[in-house]
Amino acid sequence: MATDMKVLATGTSVAPRSRLRTFVDTARGGFWLGWKIESNWTDAFRFLTYQIARPVGGALILVFMYYAVARGNRGPVLGFFVVGTAFWPLVLGGVQATVRGVLEDREAFRMIRPIYTSPISYRAYLLGRSLAGQAAWGSAAVFVTLAVGVIFLHIHLTITAASVALVLAATVFGVAGILAIGLLCVGAAFSTTHDAWQMPEAIGAALFLICGAIFPLTVLPAALRGFGAAFPLTWWLEAVRRVLLPSNAPRSFPSFGMPAVFGMLVLTTIGGAFVCAGLFSLAERRARRLGKLDRETAF
């Protein structure tokens, strides 16, 4: 921050290392603020207790639904469903926290103008808010849901040092894809008024259907299968399932091997990041030109 103020005062250029450090510091500040807001400014112990209790309730609902519908009959699709249910809160937390951060700054706190005009990277601030949402609402849900699936639903998961490393590697790209989609949603929220609050839930529900969260893409029409394959989230979930589940589990891309799945995950993540970042920049410039960045819903 001090470096940026000095640069603004002197008109000198910023060293790449200084720009990177400022970007990281801004993202870290956005993460801290997002975590405090998501946790309602409570102490860490109470919030972590709630973090464990909340996904336990959701996972038990999943167990009751399973016994009510399948009446205890297990099949390979059950593991597919449990793994997708476990990892999907990361998507919802990341996308909703990013858009909700912009809307709260604009509508509730009326702080978007001083934040946006301060000598920081607004994009880094938004990425920090997204990471906070993923950490607050998705991190505990992954472990709790998988544990409930193993204990109560008797899902067989491959848990080894190698499988954990592969899941973490895939999740790094999955988180990057979530950040990119969050920025894209923020770009749309810049120019949206009355429907902006419902947009993250609508986008999350649409992605839930076309990214293979609860059923393989093979059950979708060909056009939707191609559309879903363009999202890194689809390949992220496919890679995680390939690592954790047995070989007889359903697959969204049965003709692809494991190296091809990881290759497509990397490719779609990089491509999606460039596309979403470009669209975000266009939407940001347009909203700034039209004076919509701080225009409230009641306008």
The set of residues, in sequence order, having a beta carbon less than 8 Å from that of 67 and lying 6+ positions away, is none
CB 178 within 8 A of CB 276: no
Structure confidence at residue 11 (pLDDT): 41
Q: Where are the alpha helices (DSSP H) in the chain?
A: 2-10, 16-38, 44-69, 76-103, 112-117, 122-137, 139-152, 161-190, 199-210, 222-228, 232-244, 258-290
User: What is the rounded CA–CA span in Å between residue 40 and residue 281?
Assistant: 31
The owner of tokens 């949603």 is: 185
Tens-digit pLDDT string for the chain (299 aa): 444 434 333 344 445 558 888 899 999 999 999 888 888 888 777 777 777 777 777 777 777 777 777 666 677 788 898 899 899 999 988 988 898 888 888 888 888 889 998 888 999 999 999 999 888 888 888 988 898 889 888 889 999 999 999 999 999 999 999 999 999 999 888 877 666 777 878 888 889 889 999 889 999 998 899 999 999 999 999 999 999 999 889 999 999 999 999 999 999 999 999 999 999 999 999 999 988 888 876 65
CB 184 within 8 A of CB 130: no
Structure confidence at residue 154 (pLDDT): 85
- Provide the residue type at 163 as one letter: S
User: What is the rounded CA–CA span in Å between residue 253 and residue 23?
Assistant: 37
User: What is the rounded CA–CA span in Å between residue 81 and residue 155?
Assistant: 10
User: What is the rounded CA–CA span in Å between residue 181 and residue 126?
Assistant: 12
Structure confidence at residue 232 (pLDDT): 96
The set of residues, in sequence order, having a beta carbon less than 8 Å from that of 225 and lying 6+ positions away, is 217, 218
Residue 48: count of CB within 10 angstroms of its CB: 14
